[in-house]
Amino acid sequence: MSYMKTNMKRLGLGAAILAGASTLATGAFAQDSDLAAQVAANAANDNFIFTTLLFLLGGVLVMWMAAGFAMLEAGLVRTKNVSMQCLKNITLYSVAGLMYWVLGYNLMYTGVDGGFLGSFGPYSWPDAGASEGGDYSVASDWFFQMVFCATTASIVSGTLAERIKFWPFIIFVAILTGILYPITGSWEWGTGWLDQKGFSDFAGSTLVHSVGGWAALAGAILLGARAGKYGKDGKVQPMLASSIPLATLGTFILWMGWFGFNGASQLAFGTIADAADVSKIFANTNLAACGGVVTAVILTQLIYKKMDVTMALNGALAGLVAITAEPLMPSALSNSDASYGVQFLGVISIGAFTMIASFVVWFLLKMTIGMFKI
């Protein structure tokens, strides 16, 4: 009987005896105790699966964002740079995935304990078939954290598109995803010193997006503008996007993936309150992107007296990045004065570390193998 087979598998022998042969029970007391333990074990089982599922689904959606960045960037660069931008994007995601396994995850999460970094060494998950404690599978957590790390590198890719050479870019990505991102990540999500002070970053507005931004800015300063970006008169020269539909597709992919990025950052899905909160995050994330598009379209019309699809795409992304800081309870002022100070400290310290460290790495790359424009 399939019911009984399922029960045997999930409830263990004790419960199966209870369910299948309860008339043989010898005393209500002992039986109650067993049954209560079984009820608790079933609840723990379901909670584990729900949150693991949240991480896996969220992780796949954020992995999909790597394709979104690739299409957005391939669509917006000039035709001659499209293939290179595709190559950079699939390689950066791959390097991030390997580096976060070899170094990053443990540096960010293992033994940080209020400090400034974790331990060195590759991450490993339990053997196949092992039953885990905890509220979710550790491998699902690794997977979800890994795609976040890769997203950070994607931001650098877009900023330096059409100018950074392949190998210095890839080497920087390896250092960023294996060392730099995990260190600042350990300060907050790894329960390091910033977390102890009460810093808050729900889904990575500072830890992912600003880190990617600072790392890219350091590179952009050393690299300078794209050749031909400014004319002899100093004016910006238009550079023709290779494909608007590809850029549009990339934006839709990023929008879709962002539900996983923000939604699974709730980090729990096993209770009614958590499932309801994830739902609010989905709705808020969508509204933010919608608001970004509509604002961009209206402003473009008012200021430039025309329509511009790339501004609409940028509007969507601006809305998505903005809501990432607090997709669950967005408000203009949500915090007390005290936490403003901690938030300021966190943003500044993470920015300073990433900017300085990235500058050093980019400078060494420039001095050695070169980071000349393509």
1 near a second copy (CB under 8 A): yes
- Cα(214)–Cα(262) distance, integer angstroms: 21
Hey, what's the torsion of the CAs at 320, 196, 143, 313, to 10 degrees?
A: 10
CB closer to a second copy, 181 vs 187: 181
> Interface residues for a second copy in 136-165 (CB under 8 A)?
137-140, 142-143, 146
What residues contact 293, with CB distance under 8 A and at least 6 apart? Answer: 312, 315, 316, 319
Q: How far is the CB of 55 from a second copy (least distance, A)?
A: 7
> Interface residues for a second copy in 26-65 (CB under 8 A)?
28-29, 31-33, 35-50, 52-53, 55-57, 59-61, 63-64
CB closer to a second copy, 236 vs 240: 240
Residue 291 CB neighbours (<10 A) = 16
Q: How far is the CB of 53 from a second copy (least distance, A)?
A: 7
CB closer to a second copy, 46 vs 113: 46
Considering only residues 78, 197, 280, 366, which one is a binding residue for a second copy as defined by CB under 8 A? 280
Considering only residues 225, 227, 276, 356, which one is a binding residue for a second copy as defined by CB under 8 A? 276
> Interface residues for a second copy in 286-345 (CB under 8 A)?
286-287, 289-294, 297, 301, 307, 309, 312-313, 316, 328-329
Q: 329 φ, ψ to 5°?
A: -130, 60
- Cα(303)–Cα(290) distance, integer angstroms: 20
- Cα(214)–Cα(21) distance, integer angstroms: 65
Q: How far is the CB of 359 from a second copy (least distance, A)?
A: 26
Q: How far is the CB of 199 from a second copy (least distance, A)?
A: 19
Task: Mark 86-125 with x for binding to a second copy (rule: CB under 8 A) and - for no binding.
Answer: xx-xxx-xxx-xx--x-----------------------x
**CA 146 from centroid of its chain's CA atoms:** 8
Considering only residues 196, 279, 335, 368, which one is a binding residue for a second copy as defined by CB under 8 A? 279
Q: How far is the CB of 240 from a second copy (least distance, A)?
A: 12
The two three-digit tokens of residue 135, written as one number: 């509220």
CB closer to a second copy, 135 vs 359: 135
222 near a second copy (CB under 8 A): no
Angle between helices 211-223 and 138-159 (to 10 degrees): 30
Q: How far is the CB of 47 from a second copy (least distance, A)?
A: 5
243 near a second copy (CB under 8 A): yes
Is the distance from CB of 4 to CB of 16 less than 8 angstroms? yes
What residues contact 275, with CB distance under 8 A and at least 6 apart? Answer: 50, 269
Residue 244 CB neighbours (<10 A) = 13
DSSP assignments along 171-182, one per residue: HHHHHIIIIIHH
> Interface residues for a second copy in 2-21 (CB under 8 A)?
2-3, 5-7, 9-11, 15-16, 18-19
Q: How far is the CB of 180 from a second copy (least distance, A)?
A: 19
- Cα(112)–Cα(117) distance, integer angstroms: 5
> Interface residues for a second copy in 162-201 (CB under 8 A)?
166-167, 170
How many residues bind a second copy (CB under 8 A)? The answer is: 131
Q: How far is the CB of 181 from a second copy (least distance, A)?
A: 16
Q: How far is the CB of 346 from a second copy (least distance, A)?
A: 21
Q: DSSP label at 243?
A: -
> Can you state the percent helix, strand and coil of the chain, rounding each to 5?
75, 0, 25
